[in-house]
Structure formats: structure tokens, C-alpha cells
Structure 1
Amino acid sequence: MIRLNLLEETRFEKLPVTVYPNQDIASKQVARRICDLIRRKLQNGETTVLGLATGATPVGVYAELVRLHREEGLSFQNVITFNLDEYYPMKPTAPQSYVTFMNENLFDHIDIPRENINIPDGTLPLEEIPAFCLEYERKIEELGGLDLQILGIGRTGHIGFNEPGSAPNSGTRLVTLDDLTRRDASRDFGGKENVPTKAITMGIGTIFKAREIILMAWNRKKAPIIKKAVEGEMSSEVPATYLQLSDNVEFVLDEDAAAELTRFDTPWQVKDCVWDEQLTKKAVIWLSRLLNKPILKLTEEDYNNHGMAQLAVEKGPAYNINIHVFNKIQHTITGWPGGKPDSDDSQRPERANPAKKRVIIFSPHPDDDVISMGGTFIRLVDQKHDVHVAYQTSGNTAVWDDDVLRYMEFAIDFNASIGEDNSHLKSIYDDMRQFFAQKQPNQVDTREIRDVKGFIRKTEAISGARYAGLADDHIHFMALPFYETGKTSKNPVTDRDIELTMDLLQKVKPHQIFAAGDFADPHGTHIVCFRIILEAMSRLQKTEEWTKDCWLWMYRGAWHEFETHEIEMAVPLSPQEVERKRNAIFKHQSQKDRPVFPGDDAREFWVRAAERNRETAKIYDKLGLADYEAMEAFVRWKF
């Protein structure tokens, strides 16, 4: 019976999938399987042949393998490895090379013989690549094939660098990289223009020959492509779907990467559910949007025809469910994000008292505040709450080099106009120009350049916060140390980051905190900043009475909005407020037109924000609620 239930639950899935609570647990499980394989083969006097992957996904696996080597005596003396791919052209000593990646994350920390390591050669002359690829294949076959191949998956659905259009029987070869793949790699190379356009990759046919294949994926960013790979039809447009043909494959996911699989996203389609408030709300919204019908017009037949008969029986009739969910959504809408004074707040998202609240808006980068919640920011100030904004990082990696020279030239001209000696400033300026002329992709800027980039973003943030109505003493620049590396990779968080946050919280003693809840933030800064806030509050809660009355509201950044069923507070914006928000975003001139790190969305930040807020309002309208110009959405974090 249990097996039948499992088969029913996973009936949309076309290959085996194992889901773990988080990527740390999943990575350790995969590492343990590799460890057991190596030891089993060693006992039999055999060599283990591993196919290895690069990128962020396998880092935890490699870290655990290193631990197993150091602490549990796992030896790699009898292991031969073949890496999936390498950029072309690429020097092995380059920081972006997969040779460097593998050495830093695994090979330099274990006892594998160097002659047992095989990675495609990114330095070959073009005419020698076909022969090299044939030899790569021959070496694998000579060893009896790969015992285990681990894979990640790109957002194009690529495995290795087998991009859309790859054939299922393809071998090791030179390929052209998809534009999305290059955009995803752009931070590592200091801009997409520096990312190689080609790579040498093991083919899908080569991967298929492995006796065991484990594809790993973590975080919500991978959820859409995982759904296509696991539940979609086989297609060259999503090369990972070819793995459906293999009898030896398993997808290992964390809960976030698995979130869009049917059994997690719309479980009522595959199994009986426990219909709590949140799942009921999610299902009714889903049904309304699927049928393009307002919630109050959904019928019993609609429920029965779309896997929700159990809900109608247990909680029905359907119309009562509709009214209940409609009212729940309606109660999320408020024009008083700080609470409406002297009103019944039993059906409102925020407390009525105190009427005037102390508020801290934490902004990971110097523009997240106005991009993500600029309308609510301005509304809170207009409604006379005691609002502070705290910019957690300098954002100094996201300024164009040309802007630095422009501001330096301004400073030199200004000094000259008031008769100041410019010799020292000109010397620094000349050094900057010389540095930029020789600067390599992703090279760390000098301290002076980083300072100027930070000053640029600071002055823009001050301008935006002033426009929102804040006095200068309510604008705080934290410059959290973890961020100040001058590179896209950041330092680990330390007590100093947390102590700086605690100091500000203790100074303001807020009733409300607003913080970026972008756990799929492609650059990672948002989630790091959020965890720092949580740790700071956790420590303060042990001694500080005011923390008991402090609520934390999460907002989303420029990438995507909360799901409608998750939203707990929706602040409607009038056309005039939308314009005021746009003007506040415009104060961040260094991020306008084309930011240094735009992600995979070519739109300007103000356009993304405006269209996202309008889309949220449209969804509410189509559900049968009032039609607003735009809405900003928030979810409360329960301490």
C-alpha cells in the first residue's frame, strides 16, 4: 500500500528523485555514496573511475569528501577522475578555470595521484581539439567506463556544457555556450563580455555510459528547470530530459529545487492532502488562476474536475471555501503598512498600536530599499512613523570603472575652482587610469578605487532616502565587513557583522523591521544579510524586552515576487505613488540604464519593479479583488 501511494504521488516524475531537507544534508549523502563506492572497489582490488562536475552545486560534496579523507581515512590513491568540461580558451592557472576550481575545492586536499586527474585542456590549438576529445573518450573506455558521474544542471537544462540542441548520443567535443549560460557565469568573469563563448565538454552519450549517474540541484533558482527535466517531455531544448532514458540515474535535490514538482507544488493532483489554511488558500488561488475565474465564481464542478474534490467534501460546500479564502486575501490589503491607528486590527496585517512605530528598513545593497519597497517606504514616512534605513553593504563592486574616473575628474576640477592643491588627487587619479588600462577580468580594485565606488553608491542612497523623506541622522551605512573583499566572492560572516547589526537595533529598538527575503538571490548577498539580522535578533531576544514587540516583514528584491498565497501584507500604490517610487530609484544613477550585474533580466531596475508591482495588483484583480495601480508585497517572519 505504501509503495502504491508513493507511485501515485510521483506519477508525473519520469525518473527517480530523492529530496533532502537542505543541500548540506544532500551533499553529505552523495559524498558518503562516493566514499562507499571507493572503499568497496578498493576491497576488490579495483580502481574507481569518477566523473566530476564543477560549479556551486558540488562544492558541498567535495568539502565532505575532504573531511572524510582527513578525519575518516578515505584514500583516493585508487581513484581516477574525469571532469565534465572546461571553458575554451582557458589557461589552467586562471581563477575561472575548472583546473583551479578542482584544485581549490578537492584535489589539493586529498591524496589522489596527479596523474590520475583528467580535465579537458583549454589551451589546445583549435585543430588539435578533435584528436584530444577522441583520446579523452578512449581513456574512459580503456578503464572500463565511469563508475559514477555526478552532474549539476544549468538553467538552460544543460548537463556538462551540453546546451540546448545537443544530441543524446553526442561525445566529447567543442561546443558553443548558450547566452544564458554565459550570463550566469558573468560575475565570475567580471562581465559577460569576458566569458568564453566556447567550451570542451563530455557528451551526453559519454555521460550515459556511466554505471551510475547522480544529478544534483539546490535552491529555488533551479526549480523551474528541474520540473522540466523530471516531468517534461524529452526534448533537445532541455538536454537533461534525455536522462529519462537512463536506468541508472537519480536526481538528488534539496526542498527548494524540488518545490515546483507536482507532488510539492500542487499535491492535490497526486494524493490526499491535509487541508490546512495555507494549502487551502494556495489551492483555491491556483484554481482561480488556472481557470481565469474570480474566486467567488468557482464552482463545485471546478473543484471536482481539478483534483480538489477532497477539499470540497471536507471543507465545503465550495462557495463557503471561496468566501473564506477571498476574505483571507482581502485582509492582506492595507494602506497602513505601519498599522492603522485607533482601529480594530483583528483582521489587519499590522497592529494598530503603537500608532507611531519605530521602523528599520534594512537594505542589503544601497538601492534595494527603494527598488523593492519604495512605495511602502514613502508611505511609512508620510504616515509619520519614525523610519530609519540601514544600508548593510557598500555595494562597491557594482559600479562601472568609468564612473570612478568621472567623479575623480569632478573632484579635481572642484578643488581647482576653490584654489586647493590638486597634486595628491591627480597622482591618485593617474594611478587609477593606469590600473584600469591593465585591469584583468574580475581583478580586485585598489583600495582607493573601492572607496570611490562606495562613495558613489553612498551619495546615491542618501539622495534616495532624502527623497523618501528621511533626515540624515536616520540614514545608516553599516559597511558590514563580510562584504568588503573587493571581489564577487565574500568573506564568511563574523561576530563583527552581527555586533554592528545588534548595535543599530539596540539604538533604534524598532517595532518593525523590513528586510530582504530573497533566498534565491542570485548573488547571495541578500540571504547573508538576512541571516545576520536573524542572529542579531536571536542574541538580543535573550535580554532585551523590546524585541517581544518587534515584527519582521520580508520584502522581495528585483528578481521575483512572493507567491500570491504567501503574501501576508499587500500595500496598494496609487499612480502618483508609483511615480514617486520611480523617482527614488532614479537617484541611483550608477545602477540606471545598464548595471554592472544585471542578472538575466535586461530591463532596468525601475522597470522590473514597476512591472512586478503592477503584476501583483493584476493578480489580485483577477482573483476578484479591487483593481489597484500597483502593489508591494510582504511576508512576516515569525521569530
Structure 2
Amino acid sequence: MSAASPAASRVPVRIFPDSEQASVQVARELAAFIRQRAQEGRPAVLGLATGSSPTRVYEELVRLHREEGLSFQNVVSFNLDEYFPMAPDSLQSYVRFMREYLFDHIDIRPENVHIPDGTVPAEQVGEFCRRYEEQIREAGGIDWQLLGIGRTGHIGFNEPGSGAASRTRLITLDHITRTDAASDFYGEENVPRRAITMGVGTILEARHIVLLAWGEGKAAVIKRMVEGEPTDTVPATYLQHHPAVQAVLDEAAAAELSSRKTPWLAGQASDWQDAAQVRKAVTWLARLVEKPILKLTDEDYNENGLSDLLAEAEGQAYSLNIRVFNELQHTITGWPGGKPTADDTHRPERAAPFPKRALIFSPHPDDDVISMGGTLIRLVDQGHEVHVAYQTSGNIAVFDDEAIRFADFVADYDEAFRFDEQPAETLYQRVADFLKNKQPGQVDSDEVQQIKGLIRRGEAKSALRYAGLDPDTRAHFQDLPFYETGRVRKKPLGEEDIQFTIDLLNRLQPHQIYAAGDLSDPHGTHRVCLAAIFEAVRRLKAAGTPWLSDCWVWLYRGAWQEWDVAQIEMAVPLSPQELTRKRRAIFKHQSQKDRPLFPGADQREFWQRAEERNRTTARLYDQLGLPEYEGIEAFVRWHF
């Protein structure tokens, strides 16, 4: 098997280290355009998107308005879409979204704001859509269109099958789109089946288009959009026809592009002095030709676009193979906290000090055992002082009937032991009455939120006990304020969230920090939790905090994605028995068992995803010629 020539990029891309830097840059460019138009005495007509991708752009625009005097008096806006039917004050309404993230915080004129109306009678939708198109034309057309992209390749709500000439219209949502939106609506059954959207043709008439995409979950569809043939099965590919379009990506969303995945095939100069680049190329080649690394030949390198790498190795595949094989072999360790009194020259973790104090950050109350449960148990078994910080309560991910069941238990308990002179049914009745009358997407009462949070907290404690930890001394429930909205949509990361994290780190002074480094979590909670840790560590470093000099940070990935084998810096092998212990720890999270409330695109239970991911990583190591294990948990070190 030989390597196919990589597809050329058909859409200009700009790749940033992370979504934060990318969003701020896009916001500044948009602000410069608005100011330029204001100086010219002309309106700036903007096409605006909703969803998670543009939120940081909007936050930066608000900051520029408040702190640097950016005025929106000359801005005319047209939003891409809206669910149908949808009341403007509903939690999931894009009218409400735009007000909360942008319009309520800037000086845009209300008459200049245009958003598709989800309350139009069905028989009048056609006329409304025609008028929406006329309003865009009357404004002079859209100058600057901001877009996100769905996993189906939709832009706006233009689902697969939408033609390049399609206009604003009512459309039926794809099943995948409704599944992805399920978390916003507290269940797929509550997601509207239709939406009003600008058409592909309408979008393509904008003078300038910027498409935003963040995270590993968007990488596959970005590759199709940028490198694939234009097709109505991926409507975003029609952007290839636009003369002034660019895709703004973070590294994770760009990961599948040929320029990132196989730059040696894309005609780009490769830095073969970079050990990570060499490891990436050699493992790619081994998987392509389906050989263990030590069996790769000179011909394999020469016939698959890696002749220059071979030349750097003095034309010897043998020595290059051994070098990369040894690098991968040295990632494997059964001692994630370091092996005492051992030569740690070629081990991923240092031997001293021993035992270590390890702090595992878990964004939700089950990410610790789902993502690194085997390693957690191994650290405990090997005598380390292990602490787990649960960053959020996870309360929105509990079914209503679970809350009623626990309220019922409390009522029966009070009645049986007569600890409360009030009627025993009071708590149960209040909860039951609220949930009986609860509307789809309605925020839970404070009392119900607390019950659901306590359910998740109790499950986390149970899992820690099973792993051999005392939750009274080793569990830390941070309940970071950004999460506690009672809704899927959270607040931005705040100073209080960062300070909570700094305080915990200073109190424990760990030798190891484990944090969730995956950005594919569909709710974005993992991303915010990781940002809190990174900012806390940066501030501690800037302050010259002494204990930090002896602290290493390891990043794990959750139930959504795994590190590529070439990225892995520590691989912790799991035996069949250890994988079973990990599964049982996950099972302690009973409210997430059988059917998670927010499963994302993968409908399997979390323990099934985790085991499949661990076994797949182990198989990859085996296929590359390394020892065969039942499973492997993988980590990458953050060199702060």
C-alpha cells in the first residue's frame, strides 16, 4: 500500500494555538472593519452566528465596546437561523442567545437587529423568508458573515442536500444536528424538528466570510470542507466557490488537514530535527503499510513520501526504526507516579519524591474514573497520596426521576426516624410538584439542583471508596461558579473560578497534576475547566511559587477522544483485571448508567466508550511492535 497524494487546500485557513487567541483576533479584525465603516459614514452589515464557536468573539466585542469605545451604532445585523417554532424568550432561543452574549451589552440600535422569527404562523413562514431576503438586499447586502459548522457540514441550518442556490427558508433538521442539540433541550425528544435558516446562496452573497471551528470533534468535517470536492452532502464545501472566505481554526480542529497530519506529503518542509515530527511520520508510515516499526524498510520510506526523512537518518531505516521504537517503548510505565529507587532516565515520570502527592482534576464527577480510572487505582495501590478535585457539580446531567427518587427516600427516612417535626412529605411534594409542571428546557429550582448535585457527589464518593480512597479527606468538590447556572449554557470563566483553583493548588502543593485535556466535550465544560487550571498554574509560576518547580502536569482525555499514539508521553498499561476494576468504579455513577442524559453523538454508555478507547490504544502499540496489553490509558505532559 502506498500513500495517496494529499488533497490540496480549497479554502484558505488560519490556524491558531487555541480558540481563545483565534477568537480575540477575529473580534479585533471585525472591530477594525466596524470602525472603518463608521469613519466612512457607512453601515457595517454583519451576518451573525450562534452556537459555542462564536461566543468568545462576542465576549471580546463586548469588552472592546466597554473598555475601548467600540460603537455599534452603525452596525446592521442579520442572524443566520432560528429553531421553529421557538418563542424569543425561551432558553434555547437564538434571540435570547444573541441578547445574552452580545446585544444587551452594546449600543446597537434595536431596529438594526434582524433574527428569524420562530413565532411566525406556519402558513406565513414563506412570506417571512422572502421578506428577510429583501431586508438583506435593502441593507446593501452582508459585508461580513460569521459562520460555525456542524458535524454534518451544515452552515446555518443548511443540512445535507441543501443546494448552492438555496435561499432563506424553513428546513427539517438532520438527526445528527438534533442529537448534537439534545443537551441544550434536555433531551432529543424536546429538540424542534424544523428551523428557519438563511440559504447557502444567501450566505455565499456575503462579501467576506469567516468560518470558526474549535476542537477535535470538528476535525473530520473541516477536512472535508477544506480538501473535499464541493457537494450538497457537505454544504460547507460550497464555500470553496467564494472569493473571500477563510476558515479560522484551532490546532485541534485542524488536526486532520494534510498540512498538519502529513505535511511531508503536502510539499511542506518538515523539521526532521524535531523528535515529535519524526515520531509522527514513522508511526504514520507503520500504520499505512501495516508493519511493526522495526520491520519498516528503506523502500517503505522512499515509496511513501519520506525519502528526505530517510536521508536525514543517513539512509538507514534500521537505525531510525530503533530510535522511534525506543521512544515509544519508553512511554510505557506501570508506575505512573514514578518507580522508587529505579533509574528513571528513560521513564516518563521521575522516581523521586516517593510517594508523591497527586491531584486529579475531574471536570464532571465521573471524568476521573472514566478517563483515567485504571491509573487512579494504580496510584492508590502504589502508595501515593491521591486527591481528586471535582470541578463542577454535574447537576444538569441527572434525570428528573432520579431527583424524585432521592427526595422520596429523604421523606421516608424522616418519617421512619422522626427527625423532622414537619410533615414528612414536604420535601418530596415540593420536588414532585415542580418536576410534574416543569416545561422542556426549564431551569430546575434551586432545591432540585441541589438534590441532583448531591446525587452526583454521592456517586463520586462511592467510586473513590471503591478505588481505595477516603472521600472525606481526598475528595474536593469545587462547584466552580461558572457552571452553576442550572442550564447547559454556562457563564464565562471568571476570577472566582481561577482563585478557587489557585487556593486548592496552594493548599495541596501536589507533585503531580492530572487534568482533562480533551476539547471534544460537546458542552465545552472540559475546555473551561482546563482553562481555569492553566491560568491558575501560570499565575502561580509568575508569582515564583516554590512548590511548583517540583510539579508535573499530565493531561488525559475523556470519553470523547484519545491522544494520537505519536503524541503520547506516558502510557499506563492495564491488565484485564484492572480494566474490570475501572469498569466497576464507573458503575458507581449510577445516575449516568444505562442512558446518560447528555450522551453526545456517541450513544454508548461511558464505560463502553472508555474500554473501547483503552483497548484501541493498546492494539495500536501492539501493531507497532510493542508489548501487547489489554488496555492503555494515555497522557501528554504540559510543559508549563
Q: State TM-score, norm by structure 1.
A: 0.92
Q: Does 1:437 align with 2:411?
A: no
What are structure 1's unaligned runs of at least 5 residues?
Answer: 1-8
Partner of 1:18: 14
Measure how far apart 1:540 and its partner are: 4.9
Measure how far apart 1:73 and its partner are: 5.3
Counterpart CA distance in 1 for 2:199 and 2:11 is 20
What is the one-letter code of the residue matched to 1:547?
L
Partner of 1:510: 510
Q: Does 1:214 align with 2:210?
A: yes
Measure how far apart 1:400 and its partner are: 1.1
Measure how far apart 1:373 and its partner are: 1.1
1:589-631 deviation digits (Å, cap 9, x = unpaired)? 0110111221111000110111110000000011111111111
The count of aligned residue pairs is 631
**Greater CA deviation, 35-44 or 117-126?**
35-44
Structure 2 residue matching 1:51: 3-state secondary structure: strand
1:89-113 deviation digits (Å, cap 9, x = unpaired)? 0112223222222233333344443
Of 187, 190, 196, the match for 1:194: 190
Q: Does 1:96 align with 2:97?
A: no
The alpha-carbon distance between structure 1 residues 44 and 543, as it changes in their structure 2 partners (threshold 3 A), is: closer
1:184-220 deviation digits (Å, cap 9, x = unpaired)? 2223222222221110111111222223322222333
Counterpart CA distance in 2 for 1:518 and 1:19 is 18
Counterpart CA distance in 1 for 2:91 and 2:56 is 19
Partner of 1:6: none
Partner of 1:339: 338
Structure 1 residue matching 2:490: 3-state secondary structure: coil
Partner of 1:162: 158
Partner of 1:587: 588
What is the one-letter code of the residue matched to 1:437?
K
Q: Does 1:327 align with 2:340?
A: no
Counterpart CA distance in 1 for 2:45 and 2:531 is 39
The sequence identity of aligned pairs, in percent, is: 59
**Greater CA deviation, 29-38 or 396-405?**
29-38
1:360-401 deviation digits (Å, cap 9, x = unpaired)? 222222211111111111122222223233323222221111
Counterpart CA distance in 2 for 1:290 and 1:569 is 24
Partner of 2:271: 274
Counterpart CA distance in 2 for 1:575 and 1:460 is 24
Counterpart CA distance in 2 for 1:48 and 1:505 is 47
**Greater CA deviation, 41-50 or 135-144?**
41-50
Partner of 1:118: 114
8 Å Cα contact 1:389/1:474 also seen in 2: no
Structure 1 residue matching 2:259: 3-state secondary structure: helix
The alpha-carbon distance between structure 1 residues 185 and 551, as it changes in their structure 2 partners (threshold 3 A), is: same
**Greater CA deviation, 563-572 or 360-369?**
360-369
8 Å Cα contact 1:416/1:422 also seen in 2: no
Counterpart CA distance in 2 for 1:75 and 1:156 is 36
**Greater CA deviation, 72-81 or 325-334?**
72-81
What is the one-letter code of the residue matched to 2:379?
L
**Greater CA deviation, 443-452 or 223-232?**
443-452
1:418-464 deviation digits (Å, cap 9, x = unpaired)? 34446354212111111112223333322222222122112211111
8 Å Cα contact 1:278/1:565 also seen in 2: yes
Partner of 1:252: 248
Counterpart CA distance in 1 for 2:412 and 2:209 is 63
What is the one-letter code of the residue matched to 1:187?
S
Pairing 1:486-501 to 2, within 5 Å after superposition: 486-494=486-494, 496-501=496-501
**Greater CA deviation, 520-529 or 454-463?**
520-529
Counterpart CA distance in 2 for 1:314 and 1:610 is 39
What is the one-letter code of the residue matched to 2:484?
E
The alpha-carbon distance between structure 1 residues 500 and 65, as it changes in their structure 2 partners (threshold 3 A), is: closer
8 Å Cα contact 1:509/1:547 also seen in 2: yes
1:529-588 deviation digits (Å, cap 9, x = unpaired)? 333334444555546544322222221111111111111111111111111111111111
Partner of 2:176: 180
Counterpart CA distance in 2 for 1:468 and 1:562 is 25
The alpha-carbon distance between structure 1 residues 140 and 265, as it changes in their structure 2 partners (threshold 3 A), is: same
Structure 2 residue matching 1:108: 3-state secondary structure: helix
What is the one-letter code of the residue matched to 1:291?
V
8 Å Cα contact 2:12/2:245 also seen in 1: yes
8 Å Cα contact 1:148/1:210 also seen in 2: yes
8 Å Cα contact 1:85/1:161 also seen in 2: yes
8 Å Cα contact 2:411/2:427 also seen in 1: no
Counterpart CA distance in 1 for 2:388 and 2:28 is 46
Counterpart CA distance in 2 for 1:443 and 1:39 is 40
8 Å Cα contact 2:204/2:242 also seen in 1: yes
The alpha-carbon distance between structure 1 residues 477 and 44, as it changes in their structure 2 partners (threshold 3 A), is: closer
8 Å Cα contact 2:375/2:572 also seen in 1: yes
8 Å Cα contact 1:52/1:149 also seen in 2: yes
Measure how far apart 1:326 and its partner are: 0.6
Structure 2 residue matching 1:242: 3-state secondary structure: helix
Counterpart CA distance in 2 for 1:77 and 1:355 is 62
Q: Does 1:306 align with 2:307?
A: no
Partner of 2:484: 484
Structure 2 residue matching 1:450: 3-state secondary structure: helix
The alpha-carbon distance between structure 1 residues 71 and 380, as it changes in their structure 2 partners (threshold 3 A), is: closer
Partner of 1:382: 381
Partner of 1:549: 550
Q: Does 1:238 align with 2:234?
A: yes
Counterpart CA distance in 2 for 1:608 and 1:83 is 37
Counterpart CA distance in 1 for 2:504 and 2:216 is 31
The alpha-carbon distance between structure 1 residues 300 and 73, as it changes in their structure 2 partners (threshold 3 A), is: same
Counterpart CA distance in 2 for 1:23 and 1:509 is 29
Partner of 1:4: none
8 Å Cα contact 1:295/1:322 also seen in 2: yes
What are structure 2's unaligned runs of at least 5 residues?
Answer: none
What is the one-letter code of the residue matched to 1:199?
A
8 Å Cα contact 1:66/1:110 also seen in 2: yes
The alpha-carbon distance between structure 1 residues 252 and 472, as it changes in their structure 2 partners (threshold 3 A), is: closer
What is the one-letter code of the residue matched to 1:319?
Y
8 Å Cα contact 2:91/2:441 also seen in 1: no
